[in-house]
Amino acid sequence: MRALISVSDKTGVVEFAKGLRALGWEVIATGGTMKLLADSGVEVINISDVTGFPEICDGRVKTLHPNVHGGLLARRDDPEHLKALKDNHIEFIDLVCVNLYPFRWTIETPGVKMEDAIENIDIGGPSMLRSAAKNWADVTVVCDPADYEVILNEIRAGGNTEKATRLKLSAKAYTHTAEYDAMIATYMRAQAGLNEKLFLEFDLVQSLRYGENPHQSARFYREEKEVPYSLAFAKQLNGKELSYNNIQDANAALCIVREFDKPFCVGLKHMNPCGAATGKDVVEAWTKAYEADKVSIFGGIVATNCTVTKEAAELMKPIFLEIIMAPKFDEGALEVLCTKKNLRLLEVSMDKGAVDPKQYVSVNGGLLVQDLDVATKAVTADMCVTKAKPAPEQMEDLNFGWHIVKHVKSNAIVAVKDGRTLGVGAGQMNRIGSAEIALKQAHAAGVTEGLVLASDGFFPFDDCVTLAAEYGVTAIVQPGGSVRDEDSVKMADEKGIAMVFTGERHFKH
């Protein structure tokens, strides 16, 4: 039995080769792999002794030879194949161990040049993997060091790998080459300015109990490169496994948290904030967010950009919550919260230095791709379009409301005061309907004056301004851009309301 080994990732390869030799296998190797094995005391055959041809073109050509691919592809049950090998003095190769040049690592290196990327495109490696994988009935193909021990154990037990294992390894090898080729294609297409194809690669995190409803099956996948504010890379410290709806809601909460640098906390239900607030610390931020809507937060999700302390945990514990997310929980907080066995506690990276730039949304038979809406204009005094001008404390609330309303389902209206949401109008078919919901909530909370209103889209009529005045709103932030902006400005001047136009829309469908 013969094995051909040629790896870039040399993790565990010496032990693997020694294991094969101890089982009586011959080991063939190439280049750097051969040197490593020989230096480690493994008896090894140079690939050039198999092909009868030296490595040429700086190693670009070394395994592309009939003595290699004939030995891999020949069917052991086909007399014509066997005769062809005998007539051409070709021996079987029963196992191929290959992993590929580090193309991903190369292109992610800062300042990499295209010629460096090109030199890290493997040709012989994928060819050997594909040949061995095609002939999986007779040939074992391995591309992952994690499989070395399983393979050795099966050979020790039965003289060769089991057929079912070879099939799984074949599928794994084709997946490996497919991902590799997709990565190269994506890079080369970017260099050529082509965008009519999109290749995506995601790995399974877990199969979910069900989807949005019990009759729907679902799975959770993540991309290979870790990104911040991502549930896919969060560390779960407590609680039962996440559901489909948990993941959707938690992602929406993390998108809101990303907006804020000062201590902030948000409660969320059905992908809309039900209470959000800033504070001097996590305790104040939580308290204000909870008091914004004590009813809706029941069974909700909480996210904060602060370390959860024992004091904050003791305030959160009495409330029925599905998930609490934070960059960290201190030991005291874990002692308090982990007594609730079903409460999911998740530590999430919140490093703003890196941002996933794309958002993918599936539609029937297609996929929408857009830049993630991570940039939010600061609201400034010079954006004011009315006679009344915002006071400094109103400017803070205008900015707070503007950063929150972009994460509420359109049509979206948010009423805020003192760095806290008091009313959230989400997903209505007309803007006045959303305004009515938000303002009635604010009044139900006992706040009847000094409110600030934020709208994710422009006002097509002056009705929202008229309503706002009736509910004690003193300042409004909205994008502007309606053909009837003048009507809204005129009404705001009539009611003594300060209004700013950001020139930036934040629809969320």
Instruction: Cite the active site residues.
Output: 134, 270
Q: Are 387 and 475 in contact (CB under 8 A)?
A: no
| Tokens 């809507």 -> residue | 293
- How far apart, in whole angstroms, are the C-alpha atoms of residue 354 and residue 228? 7
Mapped to the 3 state alphabet, what secondary structure does 402-469 carry? HHHHCCCCCCCEEEECCCEEEEEECCCCCHHHHHHHHHHHHHHCCCCCCEEEEECCCCCCCHHHHHHH
Residues found in the chain: 509
Radius of gyration of the chain (CA): 31
The percent helix, strand, coil of the chain (3-state, each to 5) is 40, 20, 40
Work out the burial of residue 86: count CB atoms within 10 Å of its CB; fewer than 13 is exposed, 13-18 middle, 19 or more buried.
exposed
Helical H runs in 258-325? 282-292, 310-316
Pairing mode, strands 473-478 and 498-501 = parallel
Q: Give, in order, the Cα–Cα distances in Å from 268 to each of 140, 256, 321, 502.
A: 51, 10, 10, 26
- How far apart, in whole angstroms, are the C-alpha atoms of residue 411 and residue 433? 9
- How far apart, in whole angstroms, are the C-alpha atoms of residue 219 and residue 210? 8
